[in-house]
Amino acid sequence: MELLFGLLYFGNLIFVLKSLYEESLWMYGVWLALGLFLYGVLSVITEDRFICKEIWRGICVVIMLFVLVNITLNEEKPLMSVLLFAAASILFLGYGYLRKDRFSRVSGFIFYAMGMAGSLSDINGGKNWETILTSAVYLVLLYAIGLGIYLWMKRHREDYHMASKITVHLVLILAISTCAKYLLPIDSDIRLLLIWILVSAMNIAVAKTTFANNWKTGAKEPAFWWVTYVLNAICITVGFSQIADGYMETWIRLIAIVVTVGLCSVFTLTQLRSHSALAKNPLVPELFVSAKYCLVLVFVLSEMGVMDYVADIITLVFAIGCIVVGFYIRKKGMRLFGLGLSIIAMVKLILIDIYYDNSAARAGSFIVCGMLCFGISALYTYVDKRMKKEELTEKSNTL
C-alpha cells in the first residue's frame, strides 16, 4: 500500500514539473484533482491499514495549496482562484466536522485563511469590474463560511475549539479591510477612514457579545478577550497615524480623534475591574487607564499644532479631572496619576513655556510654582484623609 501511494505521488510530481514549465491551466486542474483524490482515499483508510496516513494527507494538502497559489499568482483569473479556495475550505471543513476529523478541519481553516491571497494580490493592476466582483463574492463567501462554522459549533458544542473561533474572527477582520479597497468607490483617505471604523466596530461587537464567550459553557475566555484587546490596540495605533497625517483634510483628522478616543474608552471599565495576574495591584489598571487617555491627549495636542502654554493648561485641566473622577469613583491610582501630572504640567508651564524678561521675575516664578505644587499636594492630602474617615464611618454604621 505504501509503495502504491509512493508511485502515485511520483507521478504527481511529474505533473507538477510539467505544469510549472508549461503554466497550463488544465495541468493545474489535473494536479488539483489528483491531490484531492489521494486525500479522499487516504481519509477512508483506517489507521491500522496505513502507517503514515497523516503525513501523506499533509503532503496532499500542501500539493493542493501549491496549485491554488500558483493559479492565483500566474493566471489572471482572480474570481476563479477565490472560488477554488472557498470550495476547498467548504469541502474540508464540511468533511472534518461531519466525520469528526480534526486534520481535515485544520486543513479547511488553512484553505479558509489562504483565500486571502485571492484578494490581496492585485492581479489586474487596478480597480475594475472583475476585481470589484471578486472582492464582493469573496466577502460573501467568507462570511457565509464563518456563519456556518459558528452555527455548527453552537449546535454541536462538543466540536467547539477556541482556535477555530479566533481564526474565523481574524479572517473576517482581514476580509473587511481588503475587500473594501475595491468595493468602496471613493477617495482613498475617506476609504481608509471607513475601513478603519468598520474593522474597529466589528472587533468591538465581537468582544461585547456572546461570541467572545465559550460556546460550550458560556463562560468568559480571557485568551480570546486578549485577541480582541490587541486588535483594538492596533486600531488605536492606526488612529494615531491618521491624526499625525498632515496631508489629510482637517475634518477627517477630527473624526479620527473622536474615534480614537472612543476606542480607548471601549475597554476602560473592563480594565478598571481587572483582577488578572498582570494586575494583582489595583493601582496598575487605574494608572494604565489614566496614562492611556493622557497619551492620546498629548499626542493630539502636539499633532494639531497647539501652542505650548495652551497645551499645558489643557493638560492641567485633564489632571484635575483625573483627581476629581478618582475621588468620585474611589480609584486611588487615578488620583495619584492626576496629582503627579498636575505638578508636571504646572512646572512646565511656569518654568519653561512662559518667557520672563528678567531674573527676578524668573526667581519669583520658582516661588509661585513651589507654592502652587505645595497647595495642590496639601489639598489632595486633606480630601484623601476626609474620604478615608467617611469610609470608616460608613463601615462602622453598617456593622
Segment 224-253, tens digit of pLDDT: 888 888 899 899 998 888 888 877 788 888
Which tens digit of pLDDT belongs to each residue from 313-369? 888 888 888 888 888 888 888 888 888 888 888 888 777 777 666 666 666 766 777
In a domain, 38, yes or no: no
The backbone region for 122, taken as left when phi is positive above 0, alpha when psi lies in -120 to 50, beta otherwise, is beta
Give the C-alpha separation, 337 to 289, whole Å: 10
Cα–Cα nearest to 117, from 142, 96, 97 = 142
Q: How many CB atoms lie within 10 A of CB 385?
A: 10
Instruction: Please tell me the total count of domains within the chain.
Output: 1
Q: What predicted TM-score, i.e. pTM, was given to this entire model? A: 0.73
In a domain, 366, yes or no: yes
- Helix and strand tally (H, E) in the chain? 16, 0
Give the C-alpha separation, 355 to 379, whole Å: 28
CB–CB of 96/111 below 8 Å? Answer: no
Q: What does each C-alpha distance from 101 to 97, 98, 168, 386 come to in angstroms?
A: 6, 8, 18, 65
CB–CB of 26/47 below 8 Å? Answer: no
In a domain, 18, yes or no: no
Rg (C-alpha) for the chain, rounded Å, is 30
CB–CB of 113/68 below 8 Å? Answer: no
In a domain, 17, yes or no: no
Give the C-alpha separation, 35 to 9, whole Å: 9
Cα–Cα nearest to 74, from 37, 107, 27, 113 = 27
Range of the domain at 348: 282-388
Q: What does each C-alpha distance from 391 to 329, 331, 388, 395, 398 come to in angstroms?
A: 13, 13, 5, 6, 11
Is 50 exceeded by the pLDDT of residue 3? no
What is the pLDDT confidence band of residue 277, given thresholds at 50, 70 and 90?
very low
Q: According to the per-residue pLDDT averaged within each range, which of 147-156, 258-267, 331-340 is highest?
A: 258-267
Beta bridge partners of 220: 213
In a domain, 162, yes or no: no
In a domain, 275, yes or no: no
Which tens digit of pLDDT belongs to each residue from 46-100? 555 555 667 777 777 877 877 777 776 665 666 677 778 888 888 888 888 888 8
In a domain, 240, yes or no: no
Give the C-alpha separation, 140 to 172, whole Å: 10
In the DSSP assignment, the letter for residue 358 is S
Give the C-alpha separation, 255 to 200, whole Å: 14
Is 80 exceeded by the pLDDT of residue 114? no
Query: Tell me, what's the pLDDT at 259?
Result: 92
In a domain, 328, yes or no: yes
Task: Quote the mean pLDDT of the chain.
Answer: 75
Is 60 exceeded by the pLDDT of residue 385? yes
Inter-axis angle of helices 222-244 and 283-303, nearest 10:
20
